[in-house]
Chain A
């Protein structure tokens, strides 16, 4: 491949990876927050977030013929998904994890796996009742267009992007903006409010926090609510990005997001974001590895293709856990949420 073609191609791959990475980052926050307070891998988070995607799909489906503004539809979808996913996460904690507080370590973990499996089939059942399995998003018109293709006010930006070879769709830009806004809100809640302070206290030391008058059960519920709402947001974003979801499609992004959380240092918010972005890029790069192979003459690399990008995150996870188990941003006295 010519260099003049290759360079924009690589830039596109990286930009695409970053967009994907934002979705992973938001999912990873759900894992990292719950892990921060309970030291539990919430396996069910992948289903919590796919529930958000399903809710988003339903909202878009119901509203597809209405003349409502596209951004308003998106807002509605996001709010609905946040509410449903957040409450679902709280419900899971209340019914499945709270009775096991203080139980041996394997017990809540196995429970979480079980909850995840149950939710998968419940979701499939609910959509199956209406004869659906694969849910294809019907996005508002214009979301699939190229960014700044027609709008004269931002055409210079769009033209600039296209000259350097980046071709993004409007929905990708929306996705990044939504993700950034959620991150800022989360950062505010965690670091600037009393609630956030209490959550941080509980994650540092539940018993002592209790002595300071913090109701740790309520704070844990609050954490699950926040994590679940973020899951809802990420579900809608995931649906927008990939177009099609089904009840079982939460597994792969769930694992990748968890890897992202570990990569960044579990319990750390900036770490989860960094890890998500890195893994998004890595995954996209592995997906196009064969091109590098052909370019450099390594014919064997040609057999590495998209199906391997599925195992990329696992390899990364093994490597981090072996060489730097605290993650990139994790310190021994990491600030947990």
Chain B
């Protein structure tokens, strides 16, 4: 006897993405071959007219973007894990360096893309996760770059020489005074801070805290100055910069320096919100640039610092040599690998932070500051951590940037750079890691390849005046990216799910109404937030609340 099995109710399966393993591998092979061919000058010549097309800068940019799209597809498509791994590792570790062997500009471009990807990831923490619009982000990049450049270039010797010639009344006595002052003031600051933990700060205690802060600052200046004077004897020894072996130490120092500057800038300004914060950070970014321009002794002013050393890696060089690289390519290849490692670490930190307590606190602050505070999120501290984390990514990449360029000047760190990074974040999608990396790749390719390529193409056309050379249209491009994305797709190309839902609040209402509590959300603008909520009528972001 058979019991008729009741027909199973139709289960609505989630849409299954088609498996694209074969497509992915095929795409990888084709683009890799194309990339390698297009960077082999000898082979291009034999290709005749086709080679000429490939040599065009714009076409080259397209080839490179197609190639980089591999990595993107490996991330997005559903495919076997081995294929994803193969494409990711194969393209970044084998094909790119291989193609770069005959054409180092490709390595340079890749390093540049990854540097900007790291900057975008850093800014993404500040803008995308914590909702604090920072328009002076490139200042941290500058701090990292100058931290290494001053020491790893002839500048350091000149600074020491200057202090040797102008010791003033400085000597070991000053060092002692400075150390005592630093110790005492730092101690009293800690003590007052401890007191404030136990009782409400009074006017007097706040004042003494401020006073101790000034004392600490002057103590540090005294110590620094006397150390410089005492060390001035070795000016000749560091005439071409300190031992490049310090590179690894400075990798950590640049992170720390940028984070400290981030906290110092953040402390006064993070009480402000929204647009005020934007304009203040813009201002402080400019302040740092102007300082770099004017502190000629340390930064060589507008002439810039050069040459800047890089890490000595004999074992890596011999490895590269055995792989067939030329000695003049070693340094670039090394930086490429270094940048790859650093960005992998940064990405890991990002992903881990995003899921951590602090990451959730950032998102909470972005979405609703008051609610976050009510839930016990310490506002200032959390915002400062966001600033410092974002800054430290910029700091380490600034140092690598300086080592790659071997030349930096204040003009490398102007407002347009901050806007560039912002447009990467906006293009890719605020809060989305894969998005901002994509944004960084697209904008950098536009900036470094496509626009100059168009510029070269138009340079030979007689009726286009030099003043309208497309190579100079980067402001227009970035502006259009910002406006178009904000008007048409504010969540970015590869949106973060949460942000997308937030931004399309009204569209979701129908879906949510099943839960019965969507009606309360109908107004859409009832939530107060510095970052992503709508503007309320009597909302004055200027002051503290």
Q: Which residues of A contact B (CB under 8 A)?
A: 38-41, 96, 99-100, 102-111, 113-122, 124-125, 127-129, 131-133, 205-207, 251, 255, 258, 262, 266, 303, 307-308, 310-311, 313-315, 317-318, 321-322, 325-327
- Chain B residues near A205 (CB-CB < 8 A): 537-538
Contact A96 B503 (CB under 8 A): no
Our count of residue pairs bridging A and B at CB distance below 8 angstroms stands at 172
Nearest chain-A residue to B531 (Cβ)?
A106
B487 → chain A closest CB, angstroms: 6
Contacting residues of chain B (58-78) with chain A, CB-CB under 8 angstroms: none
**In the bound complex, CA of A119 to CA of B482 (Å):** 13
Provide 7 A-B residue pairs closer than 8 Å at the C-beta atoms, listed in order of the A residue.
A38-B535, A99-B487, A105-B532, A106-B127, A107-B490, A114-B486, A121-B472
Is B502's CB within 8 Å of the partner chain A?
A: yes
- Chain B residues near A307 (CB-CB < 8 A): 290, 293-294
Contact B486 A121 (CB under 8 A): no
Is B478's CB within 8 Å of the partner chain A?
A: yes
Contact A318 B268 (CB under 8 A): yes
**In the bound complex, CA of A38 to CA of B275 (Å):** 12
Binary contact track B477-506/A, C-beta < 8 Å → 1, others 0? 011111100110010000000000011000
Q: Which residues of B contact A (CB under 8 A)?
A: 127, 131, 133, 135, 268-269, 271-272, 274-276, 278-280, 282-284, 286-287, 290, 293-294, 415, 419, 422-423, 426, 430, 465, 467-468, 472-473, 475-476, 478-483, 486-487, 490, 502-503, 524-525, 529-535, 537-544
B296 → chain A closest CB, angstroms: 9
Q: A96-B487, A104-B503, A105-B533 are in contact. Are A129 and B278 (CB under 8 A)?
A: no
A103, A109, A114, A115 interface centre (most CB from chain B within 10 Å): A114
Nearest chain-B residue to A38 (Cβ)?
B535
**In the bound complex, CA of A103 to CA of B135 (Å):** 20
**In the bound complex, CA of A125 to CA of B543 (Å):** 40
Contact A124 B483 (CB under 8 A): no
Nearest chain-A residue to B415 (Cβ)?
A251
Chain A interface SS verdict (over half)? helix
B530, B534, B538 interface centre (most CB from chain A within 10 Å): B534
Contact A110 B133 (CB under 8 A): yes
Contact B487 A321 (CB under 8 A): no
Chain B interface SS verdict (over half)? helix
**In the bound complex, CA of A214 to CA of B527 (Å):** 26
Q: A124-B467, A131-B465 are in contact. Are A39 and B535 (CB under 8 A)?
A: yes
**In the bound complex, CA of A102 to CA of B537 (Å):** 10
Nearest chain-A residue to B542 (Cβ)?
A325
Contact B487 A206 (CB under 8 A): no
Partner of A255, one of B133, B272, B279, B539: B279
Q: A96-B487, A118-B483, A314-B283 are in contact. Are A102 and B467 (CB under 8 A)?
A: no
**In the bound complex, CA of A117 to CA of B417 (Å):** 13
Contact A315 B275 (CB under 8 A): no
Q: A114-B486, A318-B268, A318-B280 are in contact. Are A308 and B290 (CB under 8 A)?
A: yes
Contact B290 A121 (CB under 8 A): no
Contact A104 B534 (CB under 8 A): yes
Q: A40-B275, A109-B278 are in contact. Are A114 and B483 (CB under 8 A)?
A: yes
- Chain A residues near B544 (CB-CB < 8 A): 325
Partner of A111, one of B269, B294, B486: B486
Nearest chain-B residue to A133 (Cβ)?
B467
**In the bound complex, CA of A50 to CA of B479 (Å):** 17
- Chain A residues near B294 (CB-CB < 8 A): 303, 307-308
**In the bound complex, CA of A39 to CA of B541 (Å):** 9
- Chain A residues near B286 (CB-CB < 8 A): 310-311, 314
- Chain B residues near A327 (CB-CB < 8 A): 542
**In the bound complex, CA of A39 to CA of B525 (Å):** 15
Besides A114-B480, A310-B290, 20 more A-B contacts (Cβ < 8 Å) are: A38-B535, A104-B503, A104-B531, A109-B278, A111-B482, A114-B423, A114-B482, A117-B419, A117-B478, A121-B475, A125-B468, A127-B467, A206-B537, A255-B282, A255-B283, A307-B290, A311-B290, A314-B283, A314-B287, A322-B271
